[in-house]
Amino acid sequence: MNSQTSPSSDALSVGICGLGTVGTGTLLLLQDNADEIAKRLDRAIAVSHVATRTLDAERSALLEKCGVPNSSTDPFAVVNDPQVQIVVETMGGYEPAFDVVKQALANGKHVVTANKALIAERGNELFPLAQANNVSLAFESSVAGGIPIIKALREGLAANQIDWLAGIINGTGNFIMTEMAARQTPFEDVLRRAQELGYAEADPSFDVEGIDAAHKLTIMGAIAFGIPLQFDKTYTEGISCITPDDISYADELGYCIKHLGIARRTEKGIEMRVHPTLLSKSRLLANVNGVGNAILVHGNAVGATLYSGPGAGAEATASAVVADLIDIGRQLSAGVHEPVYPALGYREMRDDLPVLAIDEIEAEYYLRIPALDKVGVLAKISSILQQHDISIEAVIQKEAISEIIPIVILTHRAAEKQLNHAISAIEALDDVSGSINRIRVEPFHGEAD
């Protein structure tokens, strides 16, 4: 660790743990917008200590350029530094991030984190610790990059009972789906580009398999409905099963395919699900492209509101990190502290709203059935659907180009459990070869845009 100078005594002293995409973005934004930030906060924010796993020549030069006096390869040196008032955790991952944040809170330091995995999976342990130590644990940047959705849910919409929210909440996934649909670019090429642009997670399967989106949905659901963080109950399905054929069939039917996170209050409980979804091309969400994120939130008083913007990337995410720093700085300047409640949305956690298993939901469905080119196959399929109380809205069957002739069916609203039985029965037909691709359809009937 080197030690040169101290920040000015009235500046807010911040330590940063992790100098990857978001940590570097935060450091640079604090420097680039220093005047603007100081005017809003009425005092400067000084980064007094940074820990980075690799303190190479490039990072050392950056720290010097930004006037950071103390640096280390040990994040605990930051959280144990008595000068540091607020710790920014931008390391990502579970360990050592959990222990670093825990130690910072135990040391009485406020924490700002961009780590959605940490909040979604370990937040139930960390928020009580923040409350016990009378410090903040702020996490605006953990959901939807630069979009201030946490503030919108917790403050802007506080007068409402939230009925549902639905969002495109993974920039990498949306970037991949957009490029595949617009340019038929191969999946691997688009993913590589997303990694180069700093959008993708260290392990990009988190983006592609929907885990990252499920973390974010878990956090929004907890705030919206006042329920505990329940990542393990959030249904998660990735985008790797979507083929260019699905994109073009959906297009023919008037839909696009987006990877959505949906949280909905129903009479039986809360639906929490991340999966590829058919959306009518006329919906606003259908037109959110590239790395863009957007979240539609329906409150019982306000109706539907839409929040959109860049969902990933250094500057966008840093914008949310710095907003949290300014918020905490304002509280410190005013000598007040808004307590952190372990229940993120309500004062007390609700235990009367169970999260439903996926087979308890109802939805509309797109089915792509690999049928053999034989007389009567469509009749057999419709008969099975009818036996399971599933009615058909539209069918596409093209000319056979091989012995397989895909039949694409859109259903009306049906029970997922019934649909599962119907899919098993159809797949068991001699006239069907292989598994059926099922994609849920979100119509937002009369509820939004």
* 171 is an interface residue for ligand HSE by CB under 6 A: yes
Q: CB 262 → ligand HSE: shortest distance, Å?
A: 17
Residue closer to ligand HSE, measured from CB, 187 or 341: 187
Work out how close the CB of 312 gets to ligand HSE at its nearest, in angstroms, rounded to a whole number: 4
Backbone dihedral angles phi then psi of residue 364, each to the nearest 5 degrees:
-100, 155
The least distance separating ligand HSE from the CB of residue 334, rounded to whole angstroms, comes to 31
Q: Which is nearer to ligand HSE, 15 or 309 (CB)?
A: 309
140 belongs to the binding site for ligand HSE (CB under 6 A): no
Report, in Å, the least distance between residue 217 CB and ligand HSE: 12
Element at 21 (helix H, strand E):
helix 21-32
- Based on the shown chain and the rule CB under 6 A, indicate whether residue 307 belongs to the binding site for ligand HSE: no
Alpha carbon 119 to its chain's center? 12
Tally of CB atoms within 10 A around 156 = 16
Q: Is 21 in the site for ligand HSE (CB under 6 A)?
A: no
Q: Which of 89, 201, 364, 442 binds ligand HSE (CB under 6 A)?
A: 201
Strands 270-280, 414-415: pairing kind: unpaired
As given in the structure block, the two tokens for residue 55 are 């303190």
**Minimum distance of ligand HSE from residue 189's CB (angstroms):** 16
Quickly count helices (H) and strands (E) in the chain: 15, 17
Contacts of residue 381, Cβ cutoff 8 Å, sequence gap at least 6: 369, 371, 407, 409, 426, 429, 432
CB of 194 to ligand HSE, least distance (A): 7
Stretch 427-446 residues interacting with ligand HSE (CB under 6 A): none
Instruction: Count the residues of the shown chain that bind ligand HSE, applying the rule CB under 6 A.
Output: 11
Least Å distance between CB 96 and ligand HSE?
20
For residue 439, give the amino acid letter: I
Residue 71 DSSP SS3:
strand
Spacing of C-alpha 37 from chain mean position: 27
Angle value at C-alpha 245, between 204 and 438, nearest 5 degrees:
75
Work out the angle between the directed axes of helices 21-32 and 34-41 (0-180°, nearest 10): 80
Site string for ligand HSE, 310-329 (x = CB under 6 A): -xx-----------------
Element (H, E) at 364: strand 362-372
Pairing of strands 437-441, 362-372: antiparallel
Selected from 199, 231, 249, 365, the binder of ligand HSE by CB under 6 A is 199
- Of 12-20, 61-69, 118-126, 169-177, the window that binds ligand HSE (rule: CB under 6 A) is 169-177
| 164 forms part of the interface with ligand HSE (CB under 6 A) | no
Which residue in the set 100, 112, 165, 200 belongs to the binding site for ligand HSE (CB under 6 A)?
Answer: 200
Place of tokens 């049906």: 414
Q: How many CB atoms lie within 10 A of CB 374?
A: 15
Interaction between residue 212 and ligand HSE (CB under 6 A): yes
172 binds ligand HSE (CB under 6 A): yes
Cα 197 from Cα 200, distance rounded (Å): 8
- The helix/strand/coil state of 87 is strand
Nearer to ligand HSE by Cβ, of 130 and 169: the residue is 169
178 binds ligand HSE (CB under 6 A): no
Distance CA 191, CA 195 (A): 6
Q: Which of 229, 212, 211 is nearest to 220 (CA)?
A: 229
Counting contacts by CB under 6 A, is residue 276 touching ligand HSE? Answer: no
The verdict on 170 binding ligand HSE (CB under 6 A) reads yes
Q: How far is the CB of 211 from ligand HSE (least distance, A)?
A: 10
Let me know: does 55 contact 71? Beta carbons within 8 Å. Answer: yes
Candidate segments 68-76, 156-164, 199-207, 280-288, binder of ligand HSE by CB under 6 A: 199-207
**Region near ligand HSE per CB under 6 A, out of 93-101, 149-157, 197-205, 437-445:** 197-205
Catalytic residue status for 216: yes
**CA–CA distance, 246 with 367 (Å, rounded to integer):** 10
Question: Among 25, 145, 342, 345, which residue sits at the site for ligand HSE (rule: CB under 6 A)?
Answer: 145
- The greatest distance separating any two alpha carbons of the chain, rounded to the nearest whole angstrom, comes to 83
Dist. CA 173–CA 319, nearest whole Å? 21
Q: Which is nearer to ligand HSE, 72 or 172 (CB)?
A: 172
Smaller CB distance to ligand HSE: residue 71 or 172?
Answer: 172
Note whether 179 binds ligand HSE by CB under 6 A: no
Beta bridge partners of 275: 260
Selected catalytic residue, list 102, 109, 116, 216: 216
Cβ-based nearer residue to ligand HSE, 41 or 229? 229
> Nearest approach, Cβ of 172 to ligand HSE (angstroms)?
3
Instruction: Tell me the catalytic residues.
Output: 216
Interacting residues with ligand HSE (CB under 6 A): 145, 170-172, 199-201, 207, 212, 311-312
